[in-house]
Structure 1
Amino acid sequence: MNIIDKVISVFDPQRAIDRVLAREALRQYDAASTDRLNSDWQPAYGTAEQLATGQRDIIRGRARSAEMNSDLAESAVIAVLRNVIGQGIKPQAKVRSGKGKLNGNLNAKIERAWAKWTEAKNADVRGLSNFYELQEMALRRMLYDGEILINKTAQGDYLPLSIQLIEAENIGATGMQNGKNNIINGVEVNEYGKPIAYHVYQSDPMGMRSFNTLRLTTDQAFLLFKPTRPSQIRGVSHLALVLKRIHDIDEYMDADLIAARVSACFSAFITSANSGRQIAMMQRDSKGRPNMVMAPGTVQHLRPGESVSFADPKRNAGTASEYSATQTRRISSGLGMSADIVARNINGNFSAARQNLLEDQKTFRQLQEFVIAHFCMPIWRAFIDALYLAGELPADYLVNKDKYQEVSWLAPGWSWIDPVKEVTANKEAIKSGLTTLEEVCAASGRDWEEVLEQRKLEQDRAAELGVLLDYASELQPLTDDEAQQQEGDEG
């Protein structure tokens, strides 16, 4: 009933009722119905930040509780981390010479510098985690907390760069405005809602906040979160949709365990018409409590006036497994994964397993691309900048940044379900030009250049020892002219 109906109801209640009924009759969408069956269906009005403010912290706290106490929640997150990050998403420098050929010498130099910088003492401002461990930690916090702030500090002995991860609760509003920019939940945005800076509380490792705040511009820091609405500027835990269901299944399993313990208790109760006299005559244990000994094959005679009854606690046995499986499937689907990969329980035939694997891989590839674009690339650009400041790149870097920052990322791949079929298909696809060796190797998480180098090393060593390798084809070495031309292109 809107405000007009309320005003009319004061003077003519029947007419107000007729208006409401007529409006309901004109509704064409069941989803817009407000009848008795939908009375508890609350709509969500407002921008993303209006809906999340006041609830984001509660959801994050409950998600962290699940992280510490729920094996199901941790299993789902570990499945994502294992498939998206694995041993790390690693870069391959792709700087090209003036003729468009890959500059092998410079790329190798950049990758050697990267390998050194990724060590914990260089990449992490605290010196505890290497870069690939920071990758995993950042994604873990984004899944549980919804967001993580990455600060590119100028600290570092090897290069003027190290990474600081700042947890979500340290991002807070220090005011409503900074000049013409609004500050919403600690994020300073311009008139278009574009983040300009992050206002961060200073705190010690125990979480004790000081009154000092720090303004980190988006050139220095970036917030890793996956927005789902145009108005969203802060993240919400990725477990928010399934968090209550995870809690329910944990509570159900605990309740089922208690019920099993209670049903396992065997108790007998003796009642007597002359309880005082009979109890005084009963045998007693070491603590003076009356007891009755029962053993297999024993026939126990009761005294006159006594009767015996047994406790029979009821338990709905056999439903826990079905309930757990059903809820696990719903939780997994809500996170975009199959229940098999979350519960680590592979069932079904080859076709079903392959279909689940392919669908899961689509989810993981999307997340890999997100991590590469929003976490790896900003840090790679900062690394190349730091490498130039250290005097390790040519002088024309500032006018050719895009050229020197070219890179491809090698993400973890997946093993084949049927290797013979997959290898045969890939071989034919390469021969027909539908794919490349680089794409095939990348799909399994390997570097195609390293594969060729290792294969050449094995063939040379086998020839030296006089061992025949059962290869369908042999690598063909370059001629002297081709080798000289390649060296000239790389130079």
Structure 2
Amino acid sequence: MAFDGIRQRLGAIIGGFDAAQSHRRLRDFRASRAHVNTLIAGAGETITARARWLARNNGYAAGAVEAFASNVVGDGIKPSSSIADAAQKEELQKLWLGWTDEADAEGLTDFYGLQRRAARELFLAGEVFLRLRPRRPEDGLSVPLQLQMLPSEMLPMDLNRELPGGGTIRQGIEFDGIGRRVAYHLLRRHPGDMTDPGLAGETVRVPAAEIVRVLDPVEAGQLRGVSRFAPAIVKLFTLDLYDDAELERKKTAAMFEMFITSPASETPREPAEEDLEVEPGQVVRLDPGEDVSTPATPDSGSTYEPFQYRTLLQIAAALGIPYPYLTGDAARGNFSNTRVALLDFRRRLSAIQHSVIVHQLCRPVWQRWMDLAVLSGAMDLPGYDRDRRAFQSVSWLPTRWDWVDPMKDASAEILQIEAGLKSRSQAISERGYDAEQVDRDIAAERKREAALGLDFRRPGSPAQGPKGKADGDAATNDDHDEADADETGNDDTKPREDR
């Protein structure tokens, strides 16, 4: 403490950084120097509990969670294998598609639904765990593997101790002597689930190789996740209380239609048996001396909506969610500034898709799934054991985001392809599809149309082929050259200087 005092006095004398001074404006600004792990150990469980409460009871919070999950995952981040053999790739993709319906150990959703649930938990609690569950052949799965999702509360925050051999357990995570994660000590029962008859507080050691952990750390060395609601909880809850108070005030004021004032009497009057009801156009006769007055109901005032708007802007910035997505209010912005906000939002989500969801969730699941697919005989890949990495090579394709005007978006993409700025395969991949599979589907569709004498392609479309020729009647270079010469009177095949 003495050293801190000397350092503060020295800083006051030297100056330089106003943000480090202790003058009047910053006298009460006392930032903690504790490491993020210490802060999360003391406050993480409370923050997560409050975030979950808000998501259950506050409309803005619920909307933020859904906006994040639906935009990060959408219909699913799907794999496209890089296996060179087309037949093997098609068989592998078909096997994966069938397994996705069996992936959830609870049987509530498919693999892409688990991705969405993981994104929700990432937003709410800052982390989520999925346990890889190998299954027996008699379970009848296409590939003997399922995933069990476990919330962050299943890993006790207060489990810390040293282990023989130099290992340690920190916040439920077991590390070896050189700092590698080797196991997770998970609770057998959720600490807040009173309906589970399991033993409360009992833990089980699960090797790290059997756990898929999704975490987006905000600081270096961070062990446990922290809710994305952390910087917005105070304002969300306080704004909710303010809205409730305003609504209650208006409701109370609306209960009183009128007040009747009567002169004081020497003998108390009997209370009226019925309240006086007022109807439109009604003429009410009063007793002598009685007067009627209506309450002056206070309005919300001209500052109510601007105050709410500015507060919600701060909440949206804290959550990283655009204001229209948070509130459903799309009337305050034009197309241009809304597009700018969405571009920034989608750039952030793209980083989360590839560095968090794909890297931490999709990649390890794909690797374990392929291992078990080969070992169980569900997939025959000769040489897999010798070149495992090459066989497991895959591209993960997120769902493409669409704009309000898809016609302009599609036209711009066609121009980029025609100008050589991007390939057709790249454009298809950005839409979340596998280019080779799309080409096979198109070829099969064209063959079926030809057999039935149908052609649904737009006249003049590049899909009809050069000069409107039918599929299979490929135009030769000579055909193009003769056509060019006939139409222009020049031979376009000759160099310009020879014409």
TM-score by length of structure 2 reads: 0.82
Aligned-pair distance for 1:220? Answer: 1.1
Residues 299 and 478 of structure 1: is their aligned pair in 2 closer, same or farther, counting only changes over 3 Å? Answer: closer
Q: Is the 8 A contact 1:328 1:339 kept in 2?
A: yes
Moved more, 204-213 or 423-432: 204-213
Aligned-pair distance for 1:379? Answer: 0.4
In the alignment, which of 386, 391, 404 is matched to residue 399 of structure 1? Answer: 386
- Which runs of no fewer than 5 residues in structure 2 stay unpaired? 466-470, 475-499
Q: Counterpart of 1:197? A: 183
The one-letter code matched in structure 2 to 1:3 is A
Q: Counterpart of 1:487? A: none
Q: Counterpart of 1:127? A: 107
Taking only the aligned residue pairs, the percentage that are identical comes to: 26
Query: Using the alignment, how far apart are the partners of 1:131 and 1:406 within structure 2?
Result: 19
Q: Counterpart of 2:351? A: 366
Q: Counterpart of 2:19? A: 31
- The answer on 1:438 being equivalent to 2:438 is no
Moved more, 433-442 or 373-382: 433-442
Q: Counterpart of 2:273? A: 284
Query: Using the alignment, how far apart are the partners of 2:119 and 2:8 within structure 1?
Result: 50
Q: What SS does the corresponding residue of 1:473 show, helix, strand or coil?
A: helix
Q: What SS does the corresponding residue of 1:216 show, helix, strand or coil?
A: strand
Q: What SS does the corresponding residue of 1:266 show, helix, strand or coil?
A: coil
Aligned-pair distance for 1:303? Answer: 4.2
Query: Using the alignment, how far apart are the partners of 2:384 and 2:446 within structure 1?
Result: 40
Q: Counterpart of 1:338? A: 322
Query: Using the alignment, how far apart are the partners of 2:294 and 2:250 within structure 1?
Result: 17
List aligned pairs for 1:85-484, cutoff 5 A. 85-95=73-83, 102-119=84-101, 122-155=102-135, 157=139, 158=141, 159-172=143-156, 174-179=159-164, 180-190=166-176, 193-203=179-189, 206-207=195-196, 210=199, 212-270=202-260, 274-275=264-265, 277-280=267-270, 283-285=272-274, 296-298=281-283, 300-304=285-289, 310-347=294-331, 348-369=333-354, 370-391=356-377, 392-468=379-455, 469-470=457-458, 471-474=461-464
Q: What SS does the corresponding residue of 2:365 show, helix, strand or coil?
A: helix
Residues 315 and 350 of structure 1: is their aligned pair in 2 closer, same or farther, counting only changes over 3 Å? Answer: closer
Residues 419 and 135 of structure 1: is their aligned pair in 2 closer, same or farther, counting only changes over 3 Å? Answer: closer
Query: Using the alignment, how far apart are the partners of 2:349 and 2:16 within structure 1?
Result: 39
Aligned-pair distance for 1:388? Answer: 1.5
Q: Is the 8 A contact 1:174 1:213 kept in 2?
A: no
Aligned-pair distance for 1:270? Answer: 4.9
Query: Using the alignment, how far apart are the partners of 2:187 and 2:287 within structure 1?
Result: 75
Residues 142 and 419 of structure 1: is their aligned pair in 2 closer, same or farther, counting only changes over 3 Å? Answer: closer
Q: Is the 8 A contact 1:171 1:198 kept in 2?
A: yes
Q: Counterpart of 1:288? A: none
Q: Is the 8 A contact 2:131 2:212 kept in 1?
A: yes
Aligned-pair distance for 1:378? Answer: 0.6
Aligned-pair distance for 1:371? Answer: 0.5
Moved more, 199-208 or 164-173: 199-208
Aligned-pair distance for 1:151? Answer: 1.0
Moved more, 437-446 or 362-371: 437-446
- The answer on 1:66 being equivalent to 2:54 is yes
Aligned-pair distance for 1:185? Answer: 1.0
Residues 44 and 5 of structure 1: is their aligned pair in 2 closer, same or farther, counting only changes over 3 Å? Answer: closer
Aligned-pair distance for 1:337? Answer: 3.0
Q: Counterpart of 1:99? A: none
Residues 450 and 388 of structure 1: is their aligned pair in 2 closer, same or farther, counting only changes over 3 Å? Answer: closer
Residues 212-256 of structure 1 deviation map (CA, whole Å, 9 limit, x = unaligned): 421112211132111111120110111111122222222222122
Query: Using the alignment, how far apart are the partners of 2:163 and 2:473 within structure 1?
Result: 63
Q: Counterpart of 1:485? A: none
Query: Using the alignment, how far apart are the partners of 1:300 and 1:182 within structure 2?
Result: 87
Residues 248-286 of structure 1 deviation map (CA, whole Å, 9 limit, x = unaligned): 222222122112212323254455664561423x6433x
- Which runs of no fewer than 5 residues in structure 1 stay unpaired? 7-15, 96-101, 286-290, 480-491
Query: Using the alignment, how far apart are the partners of 1:207 and 1:144 within structure 2?
Result: 23
Aligned-pair distance for 1:147? Answer: 1.2
Q: Is the 8 A contact 2:11 2:21 kept in 1?
A: no
The root-mean-square deviation of aligned C-alpha atoms, in Å, is 2.9
Query: Using the alignment, how far apart are the partners of 1:110 and 1:451 within structure 2?
Result: 16
Residues 272 and 163 of structure 1: is their aligned pair in 2 closer, same or farther, counting only changes over 3 Å? Answer: same
Query: Using the alignment, how far apart are the partners of 1:444 and 1:337 within structure 2?
Result: 23
Q: Counterpart of 1:10? A: none
The one-letter code matched in structure 2 to 1:472 is P
Residues 460 and 254 of structure 1: is their aligned pair in 2 closer, same or farther, counting only changes over 3 Å? Answer: same
Q: What SS does the corresponding residue of 1:214 show, helix, strand or coil?
A: strand
Residues 239 and 208 of structure 1: is their aligned pair in 2 closer, same or farther, counting only changes over 3 Å? Answer: farther
Residues 269 and 335 of structure 1: is their aligned pair in 2 closer, same or farther, counting only changes over 3 Å? Answer: closer
Residues 255 and 337 of structure 1: is their aligned pair in 2 closer, same or farther, counting only changes over 3 Å? Answer: same
Query: Using the alignment, how far apart are the partners of 1:191 and 1:314 within structure 2?
Result: 68
Q: Counterpart of 1:45? A: 33
Query: Using the alignment, how far apart are the partners of 2:344 and 2:420 within structure 1?
Result: 26
Aligned length: 452
In the alignment, which of 54, 60, 63 is matched to residue 42 of structure 2? Answer: 54
Residues 253 and 450 of structure 1: is their aligned pair in 2 closer, same or farther, counting only changes over 3 Å? Answer: farther
Moved more, 226-235 or 326-335: 326-335
Q: What SS does the corresponding residue of 2:148 show, helix, strand or coil?
A: strand
Aligned-pair distance for 1:192? Answer: 5.3
Q: Is the 8 A contact 1:259 1:315 kept in 2?
A: no
